[in-house]
Amino acid sequence: MNNLITVKNLAISYDGKKIIDNVSFNVEDGDFLVIFGENGSGKSSLVKTLLGLKAPYRGEIVFSPDLKQKEIGYLPQSQVIQKDFPASVWEVVLSGCLNKMGIRPFYTKKEKEAARKNMELLSVYDLKNACFRNLSGGQIQRVLLARALCAAQKLILLDEPVSGLDQSSTEEFYDSIKKINESGMSVIMISHDINKSLRLAKHILNLSGSDTYFYTSAEDYRKEE
C-alpha cells in the first residue's frame, strides 16, 4: 500500500509549549484515519501542520510524489465557516477549484464537471441555484464537503465535521463520507464521536497528552478501551 503521508517523530508547539510530542503515523492511499483526543490535545494543530499552515516544532512530514500539499481538500470546524456568503451553492462548490487555476480567470470544463459530480455524489446538485446562506446546517456541510473535494486530488481533512448537526444530518454526513472513501479518496477526520467514527475508521490516532497511540484497526482500539 502506498503511503500518501509519513509522519516521523513529530512535535508541535503552541505559544512556546509542546502540545504534541514524538508522534509517528502513516496515511495510506484509500485510508480512513480518525483522530481522537480531548480538547487541547493538539488535534486541530496537527491538521494545520499537515496542511502547511503551521510549522512543526520538530520531526518530519513526508508527502508521496503523488500528493502535493496544496491538493489536500480541507473542511474546517463548522463554527469558523462564514455561512453568510452572498453566493449560490454552485459558486461555493466551484470555488474549491481556485487553488488549481493559477492566473486563469475562468473555470475549465473539466473543473465544472468535477464540481457537478461531487455535488451529485453528495446529493446537493438539486440545490445548485439556491443561495448558500439559506441552507440548513446539514446541507451547508455537504456543500462545503463538495467544495473540499473539488480542491482534493487524493486526500481530504475534516475537522469535527458533524459538530452542531442534528442526528439526522449527522447520519447523512457520515454516509456521504463513507461514499467518498469508498470511491478511492483518502480521509483524515478529527472526531469526538467515537462510536460512529469507529464504523468508518481503518486506522486510528489517539492523542492524549504525552501519550499518543496509533492503531492499525478499530478492533485494536476497542481492545484497549
pLDDT tens for 90-135 read 999 998 887 765 656 778 898 899 999 999 988 999 999 999 988 9
Give the model's pLDDT for residue 214.
85
Q: pLDDT over 90 for what percent of the chain?
A: 46
Q: Which domains does the chain have, with CATH numbers?
A: 3-224 (3.40.50.300)
Average pLDDT, the chain: 87
80 falls in which pLDDT band (50, 70, 90)?
Answer: very low
Predicted TM-score of the model (pTM)? 0.88
| Cell 472513501, residue located | 181
What distance in Å separates the CA atoms of residue 182 and residue 205, rounded to the nearest whole number?
Answer: 20
Q: How far apart are CA 196 and CA 174, in angstroms?
A: 8
Examine the pLDDT at 1 and tell me if it is beyond 80: no
Rg of the chain, C-alpha, whole Å: 17
pLDDT at 165: 83
Q: Under 8 Å CB-to-CB from 107, ≥6 apart: which residues?
A: 94, 97, 101, 115
